[in-house]
Amino acid sequence: MLTTALNVAWYLSNLPGYWKLKQHVANPGARQRRLLKRLLQSNAGTVFGQRYGFSDIQHARDYQSRVPIHQYDDLVPMIDDIKLGKPNVLTRESVTHLMPSSGSTSACKLIPYTRSLQREFDQAIAAWIVDLYTRHPRLMSGRAYWSITPYVEVVGQRSAVPIGFKPDSAYLGGIKTHLVEPLMAVRADIAQIENIELFRYLTLLELLRCSDLRLISVWHPSFLTLLMDELRRIWESLLRDVNDGTVNPPVALPNSIKNKFAAKPDKNRCIQLSRACGNDGSAIWPDLGMISCWGSGHARGAIKELGRYFPGVNIQQKGLIATEAFMSLPFGEDEYDHWLHPLAINSHFFEFIDANGDVKLIDQLQQGEAYQIIVTTGGGLYRYAMNDRIRVNGFVDRTPSIEFVGKHDSVSDYRGEKLNDQFVADVIDSVVAALPGNVTFAMLAPDGSSKPDRYTLYLEIDSRLDISLSEGLDEKLCRNPHYAECRRLGQLKKVQVFNISHSANHAYLLSSMSQGKRLGDVKPIKLSSRPGWSSIFSGNYIVS
């Protein structure tokens, strides 16, 4: 079968990346030192490289002493030069395009992409795919749904370098993109459709036509549950289109798009689907073997929701990926058959800031400790602070496996309380652990109008909440002396609890996307500094 042959060809094309990771996990420090040396030598003649004396740097400690840690805002003048078309600014290589990404201090960051950065992403993807298909070879006998980021227009930007998104399949790079495109259950050009209702309809139509779906790869799991909710609503209309080979979405559709998505009538597939239920993904796609998605933070709860739509389907937690860097990947399992996520040591050079502010290299990391990640990439980011906090949860040989635990720069400080994400995450975890029932969402956020005067724990749980919950929660938050002082002075009222009745992860995802975030940038958090969530979630306050 052609599908299997193409999958095998893709598998074989990825083998070098897989074996390279297998080779280097036993000595990640040496691999990282060689990678740093190559990056510095390649870019010594750039404006950035000359400024910081790349040609004189011999060791990682020289690099750390000469080059300061950079935030995105520090690089804006150089990225502006790249937009003007100036060469050799951050990299000797030409910048192929600037990729938009949401930022903490900047409304829209523009990340330079080069062919080297593309290859760095490809190295990690190659190792992941081979490991996945080796452990689950049946995935190679069908097609896959790779989440397509809907089109987002970047306005008000003039640039000699292209600005904009590429289809998610383009991360695969070079000839591999051409191997993968025929294996995609949903075509990549669907990303050009701006209307979200039309985007979902056409995505679902393509998926229903695909009887040999084996793999689903999305970002946040709620993206998929939102699709499944929509599937129930428009089930009959979609079945008619599958049966007749037509395209009749609930919104007006230009003939050019209608002709592109038209297909041959498929009465047999329609009969198969009619025996299934619109909310049972396992019945709709009986050979589906794996779903890949985020799984950290409150995405764990969203995964539980996803499991109800896809009973019996394996769910693999993605590695830590951002527009700027590919930091970790699923690769190998521990003694309990849980996926490990080693750092992508063949992709970028990594540094880590510990709780004391000390900078560590990869071979200095300790099990159970949390760190902020600093990356150096082939795209021209040098000692770039990712603001992602990770925890070491194991090792693949001697290479640390990590999990995302929150944003380093996530601090809520309206009245001087200085609540940070790590502290709040620990408090929420301890509170949730003592609750009966299944918690699918938990997040703390300031409450009030323009001047928040208290915090609210937004909680979705399948059991009844005790009204005394807020007392214990407030007591734990008071372990932060700044919060305790604000409570003592009456600057903050006692924390309250909002019981979310349903669809918390859906609402969170939609709200985040409405703020301009890409699907891949919506990471689960335990602390939001945004007030106003009670108008976004459905539910009620628990009044004591």
337, pLDDT greater than 90:
no
- As a whole number of angstroms, the distance between CA 33 and CA 306 comes to 41
b/e 309-322 (16+ beta carbons within 10 angstroms → b): bbeebebbbbbbbb
Domain limits of the chain? 2-116+348-407, 138-151+162-317, 411-542
Which pLDDT band holds residue 74 (cuts at 50, 70, 90)?
A: very high
Which pLDDT band holds residue 223 (cuts at 50, 70, 90)?
A: confident
Burial label, 211 (beta-carbon count in 10 A; 0-12, 13-18, 19+): middle
Q: Which helix (H) or strand (E) element contains residue 351?
A: strand 349-353
Question: pLDDT tens digits, residue range 149-164?
Answer: 655 555 567 888 888 7
173, pLDDT greater than 70:
no
- As a whole number of angstroms, the distance between CA 70 and CA 35 comes to 19
| Structure-model confidence comparison of residues 2 and 328, the more confident one | 328
515, pLDDT greater than 50:
yes
Q: What one-letter code names the amino acid at 6? A: L
Find the mean pLDDT for residues 61-67. 97
What pLDDT does residue 150 have? 55
CA-CA distances (angstroms) from residue 108 to 84, 481, 518, 521? 18, 35, 11, 12
| Structure-model confidence comparison of residues 420 and 38, the more confident one | 38
What pLDDT does residue 524 have? 73
Q: In 334-455, which residue ranges form alpha helices assigned H by DSSP?
A: 421-433
175, pLDDT greater than 70:
no
| Structure-model confidence comparison of residues 20 and 189, the more confident one | 20
What pLDDT does residue 10 have? 93
Q: Where are the beta strands (DSSP E) in 104-261?
A: 109-113, 143-146, 213-217
450, pLDDT greater than 70:
no
Q: What percent of the chain has pLDDT over 90?
A: 59
Average pLDDT, the chain: 89
Which pLDDT band holds residue 104 (cuts at 50, 70, 90)?
A: very low
259, pLDDT greater than 60:
yes
Q: Quick one: which of 521, 520, 516, 515 has its CA closest to 533?
A: 515
Length of the chain: 544
Q: Which helix (H) or strand (E) element contains residue 540?
A: strand 538-542
Answer yes or no: are the C-beta atoms of 160 and 84 closer than 8 Å: yes
| Structure-model confidence comparison of residues 464 and 171, the more confident one | 464
In angstroms and rounded to an integer, the radius of gyration of the C-alpha atoms of the chain is 24
Which of these ranges, 177-191, 341-355, 451-465, has the smallest mean pLDDT?
177-191
Which of these ranges, 40-54, 252-266, 404-418, has the smallest mean pLDDT?
404-418
Question: pLDDT tens digits, residue range 111-152?
Answer: 999 999 999 999 999 999 999 999 999 999 999 999 866 555
Answer yes or no: are the C-beta atoms of 191 and 475 closer than 8 Å: no
Find the mean pLDDT for residues 458-469. 89
b/e 162-186 (16+ beta carbons within 10 angstroms → b): eeebbbbbbbbbeebeebbbebbbb
CA-CA distances (angstroms) from residue 521 to 113, 162, 388, 515? 17, 21, 12, 11
Find the mean pLDDT for residues 240-248. 95
Q: What one-letter code names the amino acid at 88? A: N
Q: Which helix (H) or strand (E) element contains residue 81?
A: helix 72-83
Answer yes or no: are the C-beta atoms of 487 and 471 closer than 8 Å: no
What pLDDT does residue 105 have? 44
* Residues in Cβ contact with 401 at an 8 Å cutoff, skipping those fewer than 6 apart: 328, 340, 341, 342, 343, 392, 393, 394, 395
Which pLDDT band holds residue 193 (cuts at 50, 70, 90)?
A: confident
What pLDDT does residue 537 have? 94
What pLDDT does residue 497 have? 94
> What's the predicted TM-score (pTM) here?
0.82
| Structure-model confidence comparison of residues 270 and 466, the more confident one | 270
Which pLDDT band holds residue 544 (cuts at 50, 70, 90)?
A: low
Find the mean pLDDT for residues 473-502. 88
Q: Quick one: which of 434, 513, 446, 508 has its CA closest to 476?
A: 434
Answer yes or no: are the C-beta atoms of 292 and 318 closer than 8 Å: yes
